[in-house]
Amino acid sequence: MLQQLESTYQQAAAELDALTDAAALHDWESRYIGKKGAVTLLLRSTGQLPKEDRAAFGQRANAIKELLDTAYAEREKLIQEQALARDLEEGQIDITLPGRAHPTGGLHPSTQTFRELYRIWGDMGFQVYRSRDVETDEMNFTLLNFPEHHPARDMQDTFFTKTEGVILRTHTSPGQIRSMRELGADGAQPVRVILPGMCYRNEQVTARSEMQFHQLEGVVVGKNIRMSDLKGTFVEFARRMFGQEAKVRFRASYFPFTEPSMEVDVECFLCGGQGCRMCKYSGWLEIAGAGMIHPTVLRNGGYDPAVWSGFAFGMGPERQTILKHRIDDIRYFWGNDLRFLEQF
């Protein structure tokens, strides 16, 4: 058996030196030093020898097993290094090829619409004015001609804070007072601004309403500002936003902070005014509320209504986006569902 052991060792060592790939190395391990390998089986058969030969045979068998284990580990490392070198050589990177662009996030659809609105109103001479989200009851209602206990306050379900008189703004209209006071130089300078921002109302969340939403307010104050200026401004806006063929109509309405007040509609660009589900078969889509600034609001903003006049308007970027892309559920804007957001 000792002679058989030496013969097996010589054969295994010779074969190992000739191996060049991982599959053959694995097969060699199974045949010689694995659980059922030739050397392993010879080592296990030591007990079959005469007692006087067992010690010498076992010692030599263990030494051979250790030599082959070491040789196997060295050969495995060499084969791995050779494979890596081949991969690097065969798969060289061509640095002249264009790089792969990393996937990046996109702009939220509301942000895209905001930027389009900024561009249009900016081209028409409006500057962006930022106003706060947390407001006082006085700024949000009273100074905008909402007297205390006035029924108009019920039009907007308000989020109240623990601090008395402090609320989350229900509309961007408080920015009218703030912009007039800050930019109007105590009623001596004209103002032309848009006020984008988030609004909050304690409403039931449905496919058509949310408890948070964006608005874009507009304020123009100057001398000899008339209703015709407001109408002409919106006709131009509609053409830039919805196409040169866009038609606009104005409907009488009511807002405490404007007088007279009106709703602004644009002819449905989906059905061409013929009537469809989106326009509720009326042929028109509401895009904004507007009106001439109430004299009381002008006075609260620091202007003399006998000298100065102006108009204000408000619109919803989400509504603009819904109309342009036929989105049927406003909740998509806040759901953070990538299947929806990636379409924009």
- Kindly report, residue by residue over 128-169, the tens digit of the pLDDT: 999 999 999 999 999 999 888 777 677 678 888 999 989 999
Strand bridging mode 191-200 / 166-168 = unpaired
**Contact (Cβ atoms closer than 8 angstroms) between residue 61 and residue 32:** no
**Contact (Cβ atoms closer than 8 angstroms) between residue 144 and residue 258:** no
Predicted local distance difference test score (pLDDT) of residue 93:
66
| pLDDT tens, residue order, the chain (344 aa) | 778 878 888 888 888 888 888 888 888 888 888 888 888 888 787 777 788 777 887 788 888 888 888 988 998 998 888 888 887 777 666 677 787 888 778 889 999 999 999 999 999 999 999 999 999 999 999 999 988 877 767 767 888 899 998 999 999 999 999 999 999 988 899 999 999 999 998 888 887 778 888 999 999 999 999 999 999 999 999 999 888 888 999 999 999 999 999 999 998 877 777 887 767 788 888 889 999 999 999 999 999 999 999 999 999 888 888 877 878 788 888 888 888 888 88
- Kindly report, residue by residue over 179-234, the tens digit of the pLDDT: 999 999 888 999 999 999 999 988 888 877 788 889 999 999 999 999 999 999 99
CA distances from 299 to 51, 177, 260, 309 (A): 118, 9, 17, 10
| Domain definitions of the chain by residue range | 2-90, 109-341
Question: Which CATH code fits 109-341?
Answer: 3.30.930.10
Predicted local distance difference test score (pLDDT) of residue 136:
93
Tokens describing residue 100:
């792969």
CA distances from 125 to 114, 122, 248, 282 (A): 16, 5, 21, 33
